[in-house]
Amino acid sequence: MNENLGIALLLTTGAGLATTIGSLIGLAVRKPGPKFMGFTLGFSAGVMILVSFVELLQGSVESIGFLSAHLAFFLGMISFFLIDTLIPHDYIGQYDHKICESDHGLKRTGMLIALGIGVHNFPEGLATFAGALEDVHLGIAIAVAIAIHNIPEGLAVSAPIYAATGSRKKAFFWSFLSGVSEPIGAGLAALVLLPFLTTVVVGWLLAAVAGIMIAISLDEIIPVAKTFGGEHSHVPILGIITGMFVMAVSLWLLN
């Protein structure tokens, strides 16, 4: 398991810094089309949901038993709920924001979003890290799903800051800062967990990560995908189905 440590940290870094892709999109075109956003977010949710139930939770049940695995699963969901309640964050396009905000208000909004996303990215970093430690292919699947999910987060940070300051550097910097918390979270997890990583601990960890990813998908990604979809309301579910199908085929090929 320790031999996957470097790969786990690398995958987590890549997934976290996908916020910079969203930032670049925000600087280049300000706002991608709703069909694109709805489909890609749905795809990300589909991948995360299928991986959580088919691989993470199932593997945990086999390792530590049905009751313990599901207890860890719900603890993971509750932990994300508490983070989301205490430090909420928002997406550009998730609600009908007024455009007539002052420059100062826009800049402050972008920074607050960056802070909220940064905190939310800690458990996402843990998810990628734990998955990659267990199996590199599983870690890659989780990292890709989270990276897709992080693109609109980067957009949410960069767009208001760029609109307020006119500075591409500042917009990119804050977007980068929100994403870098993901590998930092993984690094802290490595320092704390590695000395205690037994089969039982990994079983609990995988189930908790599954709970976190299900909570992220159901509470954040799918509702936002539906909002972005707008008149194309069926695009997000097509993305979910496609994401699940691609993930299922990938797991079948790997097995």
The half-sphere exposure of 206 on its side-chain side, counting CA atoms within 13 A, is 30
Nearest residue to 128 via CA among 51, 69, 203:
51
Domain total of the chain: 1
b/e map 73-105, b = 16+ CB within 10 Å: beebbebbeebbeeeebebbbeeeeeeeeeeee
For every one of its 255 residues, what pLDDT tens digit does the chain have, with 9 covering 90 and above?
Answer: 556 778 888 888 888 888 888 777 766 755 556 787 788 778 878 888 988 898 889 989 998 999 999 999 999 999 888 877 876 555 544 444 443 445 555 566 566 556 656 666 666 777 778 778 778 887 888 888 788 777 776 776 776 677 667 788 888 888 888 788 778 877 777 777 777 767 788 788 889 888 988 988 888 778 878 876 666 678 889 989 998 998 788 778 766
Nearest residue to 13 via CA among 197, 181, 171, 158:
181
At 246 the pLDDT is 83
**Structural domain range at position 30:** 2-254
**pTM > 0.75: yes or no:** no
**Burial of residue 123, with CB atoms counted within 10 A of its CB: 0-12 exposed, 13-18 middle, 19 or more buried:** buried
At 71 the pLDDT is 97
